[in-house]
Amino acid sequence: MRRVVVKVSAAVVILVLGSFVLGVLVMVTMVATGTTHLHVIASSTMEPTLHCARPALGCEGSRQDHVVALARFVSYDRGDIVTFEPSPRAEAVCGMGGAFVKRIIGLPGETVELRRDERASLVYVDGRRLEEPNVDEGRSEIGPERTFEVPDDHFFVLGDNRLRSCDSRHFGTVAKEDLVGKVFMTYWPPQRISFR
């Protein structure tokens, strides 16, 4: 059997290590200044988009996803995954505190309708059906048909796993001032690293 020897120059090693150290310093600075926030996905409300860890109910991952949310220089739009501080009502209704992670469905001034047909649960915004490729068919159950008016400076949010998500269907809309940030990256575990 032949042994293959790979020579790596000192310059390449220094470049790689330097890039890693610079990346860590940038991230630490952004967290320290409040530009970004780090969150751990603790529940299955955003499965399969974001994983929590087994054996917790409904979790698909062997490890929890760790995400970065950008808190400054950001605008919010439909489809964005956001983190927010729950209102006292949300904490009471959901029975939990800490930052929540959900997807924006309805924007300020819009009407969100939860409808059912014989095959599926559907979401409509201002009368138009919302395409939701991020929601698995088996997790799309939305409960009873209802209509929500989204006030100014508020957002209607849902989890991607509708079966296990406590969201705007239960506690109402989320005030813009309660948003912590927009999730733009999963940074851990390594095989789950991705940008949104």
The pair phi, psi for residue 73, each rounded to 5°, is 55, 45
What DSSP character marks residue 137?
G
Q: What is the CA radius of gyration of the chain?
A: 20
The residue range of the domain holding 189 is: 37-195
For residue 14, tell me if it sits in a domain: no
**Higher-scoring residue by pLDDT: 15, 131:** 131
Average of pLDDT values for 160-171? 95
For residue 10, tell me if it sits in a domain: no
For residue 12, tell me if it sits in a domain: no
pLDDT in tens, 139-158: 888 888 999 999 999 999 99
Report d(CA 45, CA 164) in Å as an integer: 5
Strands 81-84 and 121-125: unpaired
pLDDT in tens, 98-128: 899 999 999 999 999 999 887 778 999 999 9
State the CATH number of the domain containing residue 109: 2.10.109.10
For residue 17, tell me if it sits in a domain: no
- Token pair for residue 111? 């009407």
CA 175 to chain centroid: 17
pLDDT in tens, 176-196: 999 999 999 999 999 999 998
pLDDT in tens, 44-82: 999 999 999 988 888 999 999 999 999 988 999 999 999
For residue 131, tell me if it sits in a domain: yes
Average of pLDDT values for 35-51? 91
Helix runs in 1-150, H state only: 10-32, 88-94
For residue 69, tell me if it sits in a domain: yes
- Token pair for residue 7? 């020579």
Domains identified in the chain, total number: 1
For residue 11, tell me if it sits in a domain: no
For residue 30, tell me if it sits in a domain: no
pLDDT in tens, 2-14: 665 556 677 777 7
At 59 the three-state DSSP class reads coil
- Answering whether pTM is above 0.75, one says yes
pLDDT band for position 26 (50/70/90)? low
- Token pair for residue 136? 């698995």
Average of pLDDT values for 167-173? 96
Strands 66-70 and 100-106: unpaired
